[in-house]
Amino acid sequence: MVLRIGHMAGGIMLLLASACGGPPDFHAPDGPATEWSAFGGAPGGGHYSPANQITPENVHALKLAWVHETPDFHDVHEDPEKPGPVQRGRGTSFQATPLMVDGTLYYTTPYNRVFALDPATGAERWHYDPQIKIDRSHFTPPSRGVSSWTDTKKADGPCRHRIFFGTMDGRLIALDGGTGKPCTDFGAAGTVDLGAGLSPHQKMRDYAITSPPAILGDLVILGAFVIDATHGDTPSGVVRAYDARDGRFVWGWNAVPPGDSMYDAEGNFRGGTANVWSLISVDPARKLVFVPTGNPFPDYYGGDRNGYDHYASSIVALNGETGALVWHFQTVHHDIWDYDVPAQPTLVDLTIDGKSVPALAQVTKMGLTFILNRETGEPIFPVHEKPVPQTGAVPGEYLHPTQPFPEKPPALTRLGITPDDAWGLTFWDRGVCRRKIAALDHGPIYTPTSLKGTAILPSQIGGNNWGSPAIDPARNWLIANTNHLPVAARLIPRAECNEDAVAFAQKSTPYCYANMPLVSPLKIPCTAPPWGTLSAIDLNSGDIVWTEPLGAVGRGLFSLIKGGANFGGPMVTESGLIFIGASMDRKFRAIEITTGKELWSANLPTTANAVPMSYRLGENGQQYVVIAVGGHFSRLSPPGATLMAFALPE
């Protein structure tokens, strides 16, 4: 449903009418039409738009242009008669970044419905419903968007332009970009069953496509989100490439140890391998595919992995034509903290010592940023293997003696926690936090999770996560949002596990796992704010340019505490603006890139935990900034499925 100014429901109108701004007069510079053709704005990511009509000088006049809403969301509350962890009752999270290609805007809802809209008005042109079966008693994986491909060998007609997307029930679907009808020459009537090649007894509920596929030439390339830390019989984390015309399987890469077959005895892809749930990048000129890997089963105990974490928590470069390994760089050795690589490997060309270097920037949950030569995988800034804690591991576990630390850029978050880091609004709650931390094992980053319990900072949500980073190619600055939230985690012997009361059963291992936020009696983190920041890094020098608190902790009195938890990511424009939602205070912001100072904000009906995008219609036409507003399954904000577009007055 499209809601336009003057015809909107009263509640949403009141919320959105409070967009901050000054007088309506402004100057809008001329500029070319621009699109947004891939999730990250380009095949190698970057979240960058060359649109330049909206500037630091006129952004104060930005207003709501249109809204598109769907009923495709749900909020599940715990049933008091069925006790269990919060994760049993998580609702949806609307995390899509739309595409704007050939004059049409495309996006997916939390239920995998695809909508095509008029990018100037938000009016619906078509929609396609893949008829997902929604099991509201389980986690509904997010859908972050679609991909676009044009068949250059085909004359104009049906399915020359195709929209590809994956579903939460394990399908890859091709639609005609003009009509939304399935491309019947792709797979079986427009669909490839991604269950093919996986062991039949592995539940497809544990396998979902959450990120849009990468497109390289005539190939559609995708990994998958695999439910981890629950049971041992998990599906394969294989990365697969399919022919964009007919859906034929072309190649696969499965993260088995060197020398092992990626297939099992039945000829299926070997299960339990590290998956690639986040966003894949491609370098079309070099025909390289860059995949950010997760962990093999389970996340939090590695004593039984038998070498299956060789390619885990890594950036892996593959030959785009064959799927053969080119290089890999591991960001965490033997990862038992769920510090998997969460964000898209982002491609950028740097100037180092006067020479142009093809680079790849990788942000991580540890708040560490690795800058690599994307042709070789070699670090551009030195990376040092440093000793890490070697005591406190549970029986059966082993610890890697060192971990990689980049010399530059500096870490974006504190690396570890001690009782001296305790903080509170009063002496009383600070004292409680200090005692909590002291009662746990604690220390620098990579202190192992113990039977006693361990204070961990950063937590498994980061540091940085899937929404970062954005790149300003003119300055070669990287923009990243970061969390600074401690947790208390522990491993529990199997005999003591109550699998109905823990989120991570880790069946078939000696331990289940539990964690919870490390907070004071006032329910605020036990470390000093800000708990969320936005930073700019100069990639040519490796230096941090600025860091500012991002958003506020919440609303009411908590709005006085700057820098709260954030989920989502930034986008930058040619005119020097950063746009970001992400924060828990339900605002959408424009920030001046050279200083990090907020210039504009709009109140939203719930949080915008997605990555925004921007486009400009026609030569010297309107520029729009679009953000998905739909809450987060953490329950810190209510769910929804509302797409909002902002523009300057015409």
C-beta separation of 410 from 469 below 8 A: no
CA distances from 151 to 155, 158, 634 (A): 8, 11, 40
**Tell me, what DSSP letter sits at residue 242?**
E
List the beta bridge partners of residue 626: 613, 645
- Report the relative pairing of strands 587-592 and 577-580 from DSSP bridges: antiparallel
Secondary structure in 3-state letters for 368-404: CEEEEECCCCCECCCEEEEECCCCCCCCCCCCCCEEE
What separation in angstroms does the CA of 422 have from each of 183, 454, 520, 530? 58, 15, 10, 13
For tokens 């510090």, the residue is 339
Stated as kind and residue range, the H or E segment containing 16 is helix 10-16
Residue 571's H or E segment, with its range, is: strand 570-573
* 558 exposure class (CB count in 10 Å sphere: 0-12, 13-18, 19+): middle
462: closest CA among 426, 427, 406, 415?
Answer: 415
Element (H, E) at 429: helix 427-438
For the chain, the straight-line distance linking the first and the last C-alpha, in angstroms and rounded, comes to 23
Q: CB of 131 within 8 A of CB of 178?
A: no
Which is catalytic among the residues 309, 338, 429, 441? 338
Give me 589's structure tokens.
Answer: 């912001």
CA atoms within 13 A on the CB side of 277: 26
Q: What are phi and psi of 44, to 5 degrees?
A: -100, 20
Contact 398, 334 (CB under 8 A): yes
Name the CA dihedral angle for 623, 629, 634, 637, rounded to a multiple of 10 degrees. 120
27: how many CB neighbours lie within 10 A of its CB?
10
The answer to whether residues 513 and 300 touch, using CB atoms and an 8 Å cutoff, is: yes
Contact 511, 493 (CB under 8 A): yes
**Residue 338 known to be catalytic:** yes
When computed from its CA atoms, the radius of gyration of the chain, rounded to whole angstroms, is 23
Residues sharing a CB contact under 8 Å with residue 160, sequence separation 6 or more, in sequence order: 150, 151, 154
Residue 462 has φ and ψ, to the nearest 5°, of 110, 170
Output phi, psi for 387, to 5 deg. -60, 145
Residue 479 and residue 555: Cα distance in Å, rounded? 25
Q: What six digits make up the tokens of 78? A: 């715990």
Enumerate the active-site residues.
338
